[in-house]
Structure formats: C-alpha cells, structure tokens
Amino acid sequence: MTPETPSPRVKFHYESTIQDAFEEPLHAFQKANPPPGSLISQTENLLICSACGTQYDVDDSAMLSRCRICDDPRQYVPPTGQAFTRAAEMKRCGYRNQWRQFGDDDRFWSIWTEPKFAIGQRAILVKTPLGNILWDCITYLDAETIDRINAIGGLAAIVISHPHYYTTHLDWADTFDCPVYLSWEDKQWLNRLDRLGKARTFIEGSEEEIEVRGERTGVKALKLGGHFPGSLVCLAFGRLLIADTLVTTPSGVGDWSTGSDPTKTGRPDGMNSYAFMWSIPNMIPLPPDAIGRMWDILGKHEFTSTHGAFIGTDVRDGSGGSSIGVKRRVLESMQLQVKMMGWNSHTLLAET
C-alpha cells in the first residue's frame, strides 16, 4: 500500500510476516526483562476499540478506522459508530477494576472494570499452589491492579478463551512476565505482534493442562470450539469457567427454591440453563453438530459449577432449587437446542 492508494476502509493490514511471527513463539520467559513499567508506558497510546476492548499495534488514528473483531458477525459496531480509545485515556477517565471472591472459596477471584468498558467481561484469577492463573483478560490494567496482583504473587500464566477477550493481553503478559495460552485455531484474530516473541503459547490439542515451571497445576484448558473454532473453557478444581463458549441463560441463574407455597418449590424438569451460540450479540445459534462436538470433549470431565463471562453468571450443583447437577443441565440445554432446531434424531439426543 502506498500513500497514493489508500484503502478506502481498512487502513491497517496484516502482513504475512506478522502472521508468521504469531506462529513462532519462543517460549522464553524471565529473560532480558525490560525495566518494570517501561513496556506499559510504550503501549499506552496504542488504539483500543471502544466496543470490544481490543488493542491494536497502531497509535495513529489515521491508520486505523475499523476494528476487524467488531466487523465480524460475532460482534457488532454500536449505533454510535466505531470508536477507539487508548490505555492512557482510560486512566484519565476514572475506570477502576473491582475484585470479588467466589463465595467462601478464596482460590477464585472475579476482576472486572467499572464503569463497564466495551464487552464488560470479567477475568477470573485462579490461585494454585504453583502460582496464579488468570482466566480471560480485561482491557484495563492500572497500577492499583498490578500492585494487588503482585501482592499475591503475580501471575504465572494467562489463558484466554477466545478472541473477544484478547484485549490488552500482551500488556498483561509483559507486566507480569508470564505466558499467555491461546488456541492455535484462532491466531488469525491476533492484532498485536509479540515483539519479544515470548508471550504467546498456542494450544494445539483439544485439552491442555497448564504447567508452571514444568509442573502441573491441575488447571486444564478444554477446547470445545463452537463460538470460535478454538473456543476454550477452563476446568479448575471442579469449577468450569465457561466464558462465551457456553452462554449462561436467564433461566440458568433462575431460583426456584423460594416461593409462597413450600410444596411447589424446585426447578421444573426440562428447563434450559445454557445456550450455544456462534454470535451472542447477534443471536446466531451454533448448529447441532458443533454442539455435539462440544459435548464430545466436555462430557468426559466432571464439574460442579459453571462461571460465565459476566458477574452473576454462576450456576452450581443444587443452585436455584435444582435437583440435578450442573453437568446434566449442560447436556439438557444442548439437547433442547438441538431438538428445537428440528434435529429430532440427532445422536446427541441419545446421550445421558
């Protein structure tokens, strides 16, 4: 592209050399560390999509007019149009990250930004004996968040479910000098070059246990696909962190355990608890075979709770007055969706 022939719409292109670089992580950590904070200050003027929170390798707004994550049917451009911000600008706008422990389990902490920014998802910090693992990522990273995470031992790894939450993960990886695990299938959606060539580790198989210094943490990434070809969930200590890979529905968090007539409490049979979506905001469901492939992987594992991308999307065995477990509720929801799409003899319907 020359200055005389600008592309009319998307001015930022992904050269094949960049794609190649994405594919060759060097897996070298704790080497040649830059001075603390220096990388953050170098990247705080990079453009960030205000609608999805994705950070680009461009700081000149004349060079980037569209966000390719939002120009995909799985996301959207808001009615106010495409807009970008920067980390430096966000720091002047009064954003703050909030923390909340999962009930009485201090191994799990939700971290999210207020006021809501972009998609508004939470990250979940999982404490393991080998170090802290961050499930998913949020755009906003400030000194307060860095101090708080460092006070509990920093991060040993980041695992991101899918491209909608790639956000500023290279800033997080640089700050905490840790690897980021992403699905191999989704690397085309990366928007920053890992210049030091050390942060990203691509998950190629359908399951990967996260290791720290060569030791197993017991935390597993399971590649269910569907929403994106590489969409992951994370299984940690019996809890399944589902992001957008399984979408927690309103009736999934409904509570049938209370009512004026104590003989009529209890969750009815056959209710839906999850949806399986290619596009969540644009409401495009996944086809039955994709749902069946998700169960092929997930059905082999046991879990007693699910925790979605947003605060309040937590479902536990027995919650809401349910007499059946969460895993069964996932299967029932899959079967309901497959049936309602007209597939009355799909093999998934025979699963029990």
Q: What are the residues facing 209 on neighbouring strands?
A: 220
- The nearer residue to Zn ion, 156 or 294, going by C-beta atoms, is 294
CB of 51 closer than 8 Å to CB of 78: yes
- The nearer residue to Zn ion, 67 or 326, going by C-beta atoms, is 67
- The nearer residue to Zn ion, 169 or 267, going by C-beta atoms, is 169
Residue type, 289: D
Measuring CA to CA, how many Å separate 153 from each of 90, 173, 178? 26, 14, 12
Q: How far is the CB of 54 from Zn ion (least distance, A)?
A: 5
Which residue of 40, 47, 49, 173 would you call a contact of Zn ion, by CB under 5 A? 49
Q: Which stretch binds Zn ion (CB under 5 A): 34-42, 163-171, 205-213, 298-306?
A: 163-171
Indicate the SS3 state at residue 216.
strand
Q: How far is the CB of 227 from Zn ion (least distance, A)?
A: 6
Q: How far is the CB of 10 from Zn ion (least distance, A)?
A: 12
- The nearer residue to Zn ion, 245 or 335, going by C-beta atoms, is 245
Which residue of 164, 239, 267, 329 would you call a contact of Zn ion, by CB under 5 A? 164
CB of 113 closer than 8 Å to CB of 95: yes
Q: How far is the CB of 194 from Zn ion (least distance, A)?
A: 20
Buried b (16+ CB within 10 A) or exposed e, 257-285: eeeeeeeeeebeeebbbbbbbbbbeeeeb
Kindly state the greatest CA–CA separation across the chain.
76
- The nearer residue to Zn ion, 52 or 291, going by C-beta atoms, is 52
Which residue of 51, 123, 157, 221 would you call a contact of Zn ion, by CB under 5 A? 51
Cβ atoms < 10 Å from Cβ of 351: 13
Query: CA angle 205-207-212, nearest 5°?
Result: 105
Q: Is 247 an interacting residue with respect to Zn ion (CB under 5 A)?
A: no
Sign (positive or negative) of CA dihedral 169, 185, 67, 74: negative
DSSP H helix total and E strand total for the chain = 7, 19
Measuring CA to CA, how many Å separate 306 from each of 98, 206, 311? 21, 19, 12
Q: What is the DSSP letter of 319?
A: G
CB of 179 closer than 8 Å to CB of 200: yes
Q: Which stretch binds Zn ion (CB under 5 A): 45-53, 145-153, 192-200, 212-220?
A: 45-53
Q: How far is the CB of 265 from Zn ion (least distance, A)?
A: 34
Which residue of 117, 244, 330, 343 would you call a contact of Zn ion, by CB under 5 A? 244
Q: Binding marks (x or -) toward Zn ion, 3..42, rule CB under 5 A?
A: ----------------------------------------
Q: Which stretch binds Zn ion (CB under 5 A): 7-15, 43-51, 169-177, 259-267?
A: 43-51
Q: Is 160 an interacting residue with respect to Zn ion (CB under 5 A)?
A: no
- The nearer residue to Zn ion, 64 or 315, going by C-beta atoms, is 64
Q: Is 138 an interacting residue with respect to Zn ion (CB under 5 A)?
A: no
Cα(first)–Cα(last) distance of the chain, in Å?
Answer: 56
Count of positions on this chain that bind Zn ion (CB under 5 A): 8
Q: What are the residues facing 127 on neighbouring strands?
A: 132
Query: Would you list the DSSP string of 214-269?
Result: TEEEEEEEEE--SSSTT-EEEEETTEEEEETTSEEPGGGS---S--S-GGG-SPPT
- The nearer residue to Zn ion, 44 or 244, going by C-beta atoms, is 244
- The nearer residue to Zn ion, 186 or 244, going by C-beta atoms, is 244
Q: Binding marks (x or -) toward Zn ion, 52..91, rule CB under 5 A?
A: x--------------x-xx---------------------
- Which parts of this chain interact with Zn ion (CB under 5 A)? 49, 51-52, 67, 69-70, 164, 244
